[in-house]
Structure 1
Amino acid sequence: MVAVAVTRETSGTGLLDDLDEVKRAVVFTVLIPLFNELLEVHGIGMKVNYGLNKLRFPAPVPVGSRIRLAGKVADVTEVEGGAQVTMAFTVEIEGAGRPACVAEAVYRFYS
């Protein structure tokens, strides 16, 4: 798991639910590098971020909150020249009942 502290600089106006869709996308792109820290694959020639099956923001992240990124492999499918891996990610807010973000990311790994 990866932990991050949320500050005004990283959250725009202070609450993620106040952000418009463009700003939410920017916040999500900050999380993408953290995803790469959760999954390490050896013996591949190329890794492709193939996209998202879903992306939801169920709860706001107040300024000063600590968040944690958790992920698990949801599916692995063979594709021509490699494998497609679907990862289920959750961004948890310390002390909150609902996650800040739930995402299903798809990666392709080629030999």
Structure 2
Amino acid sequence: MNTFADLAHFSAHAGQSLGETNYVVITQEMVNLFAEATGDYQWIHTDPERAALESLYKVPIAHGFLTLSLAPKLMAQLYRVESVKMGINYGANKIRFTNAVPVGSRLRMKARLQTVEAQDKGVRAIIECTFELEHAPKPACIAELIVLLFE
């Protein structure tokens, strides 16, 4: 865990790695709850029997946006800025879902603090997040996420 005293110290870390998280197991329960929250009940995510028969993966796969939605939880394992009172997910410059995430797989995130720009009462940071599947040759998702941090 990288701990920064304030936004000036965080900003000085621009261009450097924030590290990698622990692995998270992607369960069918997580996928089902995400489907319930979003209304996306496509069978490739929620129907293990049909997936076993018809899917290329033979098991359900996580929604791409479920993978992406883990970013705040995983980011909390990587860094903390002690002086920050509030952080906001501002958006993304680029998101690519480059590999399926089968239910039962283990996923982690690596992050790199690309840039930090001063904003009124805070900063705007772009963080490149790479979601990796254990034992997979290519990542599940690569995203440039934008966060606003305020002191």
State the TM-score, normalizing by the size of structure 1: 0.80
Give the conservation status (yes or no) of the 8 Å contact 2:112–2:128.
Answer: yes
SS of equivalent to 1:2: coil
Further displaced range: 3-12 or 40-49: 3-12
- Gaps of at least 5 residues in structure 2 are 1-20, 32-44, 47-59
Displacement of 1:27: 4.2
- Match for residue 66 of structure 1? 106
Higher helix share: 2
SS of equivalent to 1:36: helix
Q: CA 1:8 to 1:46, structure 2 compared with 1: closer, same or farther past 3 Å?
A: closer
Displacement of 1:100: 0.5
Tell me which stretches of 4 or more aligned residues in structure 1 moved more than 6 Å.
none
SS of equivalent to 1:40: strand
Matches within 5 A, 1:18-97: 23-97=63-137
1:2 to 19, 22, 31: 22
Count how many residue pairs are aligned between Structure 1 and Structure 2.
105
Higher strand share: 1
SS of equivalent to 1:97: coil
Give the conservation status (yes or no) of the 8 Å contact 1:2–1:70.
Answer: no
- Gaps of at least 5 residues in structure 1 are 17-22
Q: Percent identity between the aligned chains?
A: 31
